[in-house]
Amino acid sequence: MQTISNEIKLDFDDVLIEPQRSTLTSRSEINLERTFYFYHSPRIWNGIPIMCANMSFCSFEMAKSLAKHKMIACLHKYHSVEDLYNYFVQYPENIDYTFVSIGYKKSDLNHLLELKNKLGKQPNICIDVPNGHMDVFVKYCKKVRENFPESIIVAGNVTNTSSTQELLIYGGVDLVKTGIGGGSACSTRFVTGCGFPQLSACLENSYVAHGLQNGPKKLGLIVSDGGHKTVGDVCKALCAGSDFVMLGGYFAGSESCDGEWQYEYLANNDSFWQPLDPGYETQKRKTKFTYYGMSTHHAQELYESNIKNYRASEGTKITVPYKGSVDDIVQELLGGIRSCCCYIGADSLKHMSRCAKFCRVNNIHKNNNPVLGV
Ligand code: 5GP
């Protein structure tokens, strides 16, 4: 029997956060750092709960740039053990903020075990599969946990609350990655018809995760992943109870990205930049960056020898303008979050979900303001 839920599920664009009375006098008073205890890991983490997604552009440079801001980079899963080892030896202080990603393959776990043995430390881990709603995935996460009792483990993706509970209780996961189909380079909703609106996913999954406790302060936690197009969307995810927010496209095009860049060139004695390299350029600068969904055949071809013909590509290619340094992006991000806190009277990022009230809106709020011409 087919069933249909008549309860409307909401996306970020379906709501606004209602401004509230505030006693704050300055944005500088707002504390954006959080301290987390985890359901399984004995580690205590302090920082700004924003992560760069484990997409192909999440490089060591990105990890270094974000660690400076106490933010997390989930390195893409194709870095070699040797390169990971060298990075962690060179930047031991970044270990809290640099997560090593794996997929769901025996060789992925072996890769991680090799790193652990070489390094003598257990790195924090991001386990990423397109559909985490699978019994075998819960068992796989449990196996990773058995081998890495100290690591902070992020795993997903799921949207359904029973899967969140299962991954936390039985899968040994600390942070459940929530969101299917919303990513900027994701075509799952078109290719398969599957997905779940992200704001409701955050509200529902954070509620069940926070209801699970495994000792003093050791709550289940979630990461909102996919579909945050603006700082406003990041604020909505945090207000909807998400503990961390994972961003892919938002960081794509920043200086620290690894991948396909386009440049423009300044030739000798010329004062204008041109798109084609004249062969005698004196300077070049980045103009555009192209990234690919991690499940696209292109991304797989880059790193894997055997493309699986039975799998459809659930990703797309996106080209974005050069966005400047990661520092610039972070400044814009944190400025927006601070302002949101001011509008709702929250003196810290931690209190956003307690202070926020959403109102449902029609699409008029998205219309360009004709005066500003935005
Ligand atoms: P964004 O912040 O760009 O909107 O979303 C990032 C998220 O999109 C990633 O963390 C990941 O969960 C998801 N994603 C990345 N590549 C693909 C892909 O090829 N297919 C699908 N379905 N999701 C992807």
pLDDT tens sequence across 80-138 = 999 999 999 999 999 999 999 999 988 999 999 999 999 999 999 999 999 999 999 99
Give the whole-angstrom CA distance, residue 227 versus residue 187: 12
Residue 153 has pLDDT above 80, yes or no: yes
Q: Which of 74, 186, 239, 341 is labelled catalytic? A: 186
- Neighbouring-strand partners of residue 153: 125
pLDDT of residue 296: 83
Ligand 1 atom 16, closest CA? 293
Q: Can you give the pLDDT at residue 374? A: 46
Rounded Cα–Cα distance for residues 13 and 236 (Å): 10
Asked if 226 contacts 181 with a C-beta cutoff of 8 angstroms, the reply is yes
How many Å apart are CA 55 and CA 140, to the nearest integer? 21
Q: Model confidence over 243-288: pLDDT tens digits?
A: 999 999 999 999 999 999 999 998 877 778 888 887 776 788 999 9
pLDDT at 355: 96
State the chain's maximal CA–CA distance in angstroms.
73
CB 152, CB 38: distance < 8 Å: yes
Residue nearest to ligand 1 atom 17, measured at CA: 293
CA atoms within 13 A on the CB side of 285: 10
Give the list of residues 6+ apart from residue 213 with CB closer than 8 angstroms, or none: 219, 220
Phi, psi of 148 (to 5 degrees): -135, 70
Q: Which residue has the higher pLDDT, 139 or 293?
A: 139
pLDDT in tens, 314-364: 889 999 999 999 999 999 999 999 999 999 999 999 999 999 999 999 876
Distances (CA, A) of 257 to 60, 66, 130, 329: 9, 12, 23, 13
Active-site residue, 188 included? yes
How confident is the model over 214-237, as a mean pLDDT?
A: 97
* pTM, full prediction: 0.95
d(C-alpha 37, C-alpha 215), whole Å? 10
- The closest residue, in CA terms, to atom 23 on ligand 1 is 186
As a whole number of angstroms, the distance between CA 175 and CA 302 comes to 29
Backbone conformation region of residue 373, classed left if phi is above 0, alpha if psi is from -120 to 50, else beta: left
Any ligand 1 atom below 6 A from CB of 329: no
- C-alpha span between 125 and 128 (Å, rounded): 10
Ligand 1, residue 128: give the atom nearest the CA.
12
11-40 pLDDT, tens digit per residue, is: 999 999 999 988 888 888 899 999 999 999
Is residue 247 lining ligand 1, measured as CB closer than 6 Å? yes
Q: Is 60 exceeded by the pLDDT of residue 200?
A: yes
**CA atoms lying within 13 Å on the CB side of residue 94:** 26
74 in active site = no
Ligand 1 site, residue 353, Cβ cutoff 6 A: no
How many whole angstroms from 69 Cα to the centroid of ligand 1? Answer: 23
Residue 273's φ and ψ, nearest 5 degrees, are -85, 140
Which residue carries 């078109």 as its tokens?
190
Ligand 1 proximity of 154 Cβ (cutoff 6 Å): no
For residue 188, which atom of ligand 1 is closest to its CA?
22
List 188, 202, 316, 355, catalytic entry: 188
55, 258 contact by CB (below 8 A): no
Token match 């990423």: residue?
A: 128
Q: How far apart are CA 91 and CA 27, in angstroms?
A: 32
